[in-house]
Amino acid sequence: MRKKNLKNKMIILCGGKGKRMGNVTKNIAKPMVKIGKHAIIEHKIKYYQREGINNFIFCLGYKSKKLKNFLKKKTSSKNFYDNGGIKSGILKRIYLVRKKVTDITFISYGDTLARINFKSLLINHKKSKCPLTIVAAPIQNPFGLVKWDKNGKVQNFDEKPILNHFIGYAVISPEFFKKIKKNIFNLSDGKGIVEAINYLSKKKQVNIYKFDDLQVTINSPDELKNAKVNYNKYFTL
């Protein structure tokens, strides 16, 4: 059942090479990798549409022509495409489409899908009055963590602690671009987004949306294999 339409746009970051995927992404962009009968990006778009999101901004790079042609066959003609090249970092790709961010805008990495209630996320962001909201989820560290002092004496041992991690979803307001130093936007790979979050965090301008539901991220062949095994659990679309 589709929810009421949201006017807010969704930026989908799908320009990376997906190096950790090995030969799987030799000839196609990672979002085109199939899980079941459909590509990762198709599962994402179908879920977003069910959540009422229909306006997409695709930030392309690696295999951009092939991915753009694929998306044009699968989505509305009103969507916007930007090719930031292969070398652009995550934050740079977002910066390149800043003129399209005229209202509160969702952001999603192209290789992750989480069953987020986007209306709830939107309300949470508005209440925070922050230019940036990041979505975080709990994750159990599989190892025991040890802290020790300068004399080599153990101060603390924490067995498999529960940590919080950023799951590749965020929300930005248009003023986000004015809050960040321009040199930060040009940092490579994921360094820019990390620096931007830390920079705004020091100013108490980063909001957290806590998420604890189904999610899957595909960064490696093993994670892809796991997603395929758990297809019905993750993708009930």
pLDDT tens digits for 205-215?
999 999 998 88
Instruction: Choose among 38, 58, 35: nearest CA to 46.
Output: 38
DSSP string, the chain: -PPPPB---EEEEE----GGGGGGGSSS-GGG-EETTEEHHHHHHHHHHHTTB--EEEEE-TTHHHHHHHHHHHS-TT-EEEE--SS--HHHHHHHTGGG--S-EEEEETTEEE---HHHHHHHHHHHT-SEEEEEEEEE-SSEEEEE-TTS-EEEEEES-EEEEEEEEEEE-TTHHHHS-HHHHT--TTHHHHHHHHHHHTTT-EEEEE--S-EEE--SHHHHHHHHHTHHHH---
Q: Does residue 191 contact residue 89 with C-beta atoms inside 8 Å? A: yes
Collect all residues with Cβ–Cβ distance below 8 Å to 213 and sequence separation of at least 6.
Answer: 114, 115, 116
Q: Would the pLDDT of 235 be above 60? A: no
Q: Would the pLDDT of 52 be above 90? A: yes
Q: Does residue 82 contact residue 57 with C-beta atoms inside 8 Å? A: yes
Q: Would the pLDDT of 237 be above 50? A: no
Domain boundaries, the chain: 10-136+166-234
Instruction: Choose among 24, 97, 77: nearest CA to 68.
Output: 77
24: exposed, middle or buried (Cβ count in 10 Å: 0-12, 13-18, 19+): middle
Does the domain at 10-136+166-234 match CATH 3.90.550.10? Answer given as: yes
User: What pLDDT sits at residue 231?
Assistant: 65
Collect all residues with Cβ–Cβ distance below 8 Å to 138 and sequence separation of at least 6.
Answer: 162, 163, 164, 212
Mean pLDDT of 5-12: 95
Q: Measured between alpha carbons, how far is 78 from 26 in angstroms, rounded to an integer?
A: 29
* pLDDT 10s digits, 85-120: 988 999 999 999 999 999 999 999 998 888 999 999
Instruction: Give this prediction's pTM.
Output: 0.89
Q: Would the pLDDT of 232 be above 70? A: no
Q: Does residue 128 contact residue 201 with C-beta atoms inside 8 Å? A: no
User: What pLDDT sits at residue 21?
Assistant: 78
